[in-house]
A and B are shown apart, each in its own frame.
Chain A
Amino acid sequence: MVRTYLLLAWTWTRAAAAYPLSFALMCVMSAVVAGLDVVVILIIFANTTSLAGFSREEVLFLYGAATLAFTVADTFCGNLDRISQHIKAGTLDTMLIRPAGPWIQVATDRFMPARLGRIVQAVAVLAYALTALDLPWQRLWMLPVMIATGLVIFAALWTLGGAAQFVLVDAPEVTNAFTYGSGQLSQYPFSVYGRDLVRGVTYVLPLAFVNWQPGLYVLGRADPFGTPEFMRFLGPVAALLLALLAAAAWRRGLRHYRSTGS
Chain B
Amino acid sequence: MPAPGHGLSSCRHAAEVTILYLKLIHYSFRRHATYVGAGLAGAFTNSVFGVLRAYILIALWQARPGLGGYDVTAAVTFCFLTQAMIGPMQLFGGGLTLPERIRSGDIALDLVRPASLQLWCLAEDLGRAAFLLLVRSLPPTLLGAALFGITAPADVPTLAVAFLLGLLVSFAWRYLVALSVCWLADDRGVATASMLLMTFFSGLMLPLNIFPGWFGELARALPFAAMVQVPSDVYLGTADPLPAFAFQATWALVLLALGVLATRAIRHKVVIQGG
Which chain B residue shows the least CB distance to A52? Answer: B59
Question: Knowing A29-B192, A40-B206 touch, does A47 contact B44 (C-beta < 8 A)?
Answer: no
Interface of A is mostly: helix
Chain B interface, number of residues (Cβ within 8 angstroms): 35
**Contact of B64 (CB < 8 Å), options: A30, A47, A181:** A47
Contact B45 A181 (CB under 8 A): yes
Measured between beta carbons, the chain A residues less than 8 angstroms from B37 are 170-171
Chain B nearest CB from A208 CB (Å) reads 14
Question: Knowing A36-B205, A181-B45 touch, does A47 contact B67 (C-beta < 8 A)?
Answer: yes
Interfacial residues of chain A within 67-81, with CB under 8 A of chain B in the complex: none
A194 adjacent to chain B (CB < 8 Å): yes
Given the complex of chains A and B, what is the CA–CA distance between A184 and B41 in angstroms?
Answer: 18
Measured between beta carbons, the chain A residues less than 8 angstroms from B55 are 188, 192-194, 197
Contact A192 B59 (CB under 8 A): yes
Question: Knowing A22-B186, A32-B196, A181-B48 touch, does A174 contact B64 (C-beta < 8 A)?
Answer: no
Q: Per-position contact with A for B133-173: 1 when CB-CB < 8 Å, else 0?
A: 00000000000000000000000000000000000000000
Interfacial residues of chain A within 165-215, with CB under 8 A of chain B in the complex: 168, 170-174, 176-177, 180-181, 184-185, 188, 191-194, 197
B237 adjacent to chain A (CB < 8 Å): no
Which chain A residue shows the least CB distance to B212? Answer: A46
Contact B206 A44 (CB under 8 A): yes
Contact B189 A25 (CB under 8 A): yes
Q: Per-position contact with B for A25-45: 1 when CB-CB < 8 Å, else 0?
A: 110011011001001100110
Measured between beta carbons, the chain B residues less than 8 angstroms from A260 are none
Given the complex of chains A and B, what is the CA–CA distance between A256 and B210 in angstroms?
Answer: 51
B242 adjacent to chain A (CB < 8 Å): no
**Contact of A176 (CB < 8 Å), options: B45, B60, B186:** B45
Chain B nearest CB from A230 CB (Å) reads 27
B residues in contact (CB < 8 Å) with A: 37-38, 40-42, 44-45, 47-49, 51-53, 55-56, 58-60, 63-64, 67, 186, 188-189, 192-193, 195-196, 199-200, 205-206, 210-212
Q: What are 17 A-to-B residue pairs whose CB atoms are below 8 Å?
A: A29-B189, A29-B193, A36-B196, A36-B199, A40-B206, A43-B206, A44-B56, A44-B206, A47-B67, A51-B56, A171-B41, A173-B42, A174-B41, A177-B45, A181-B45, A191-B59, A193-B52
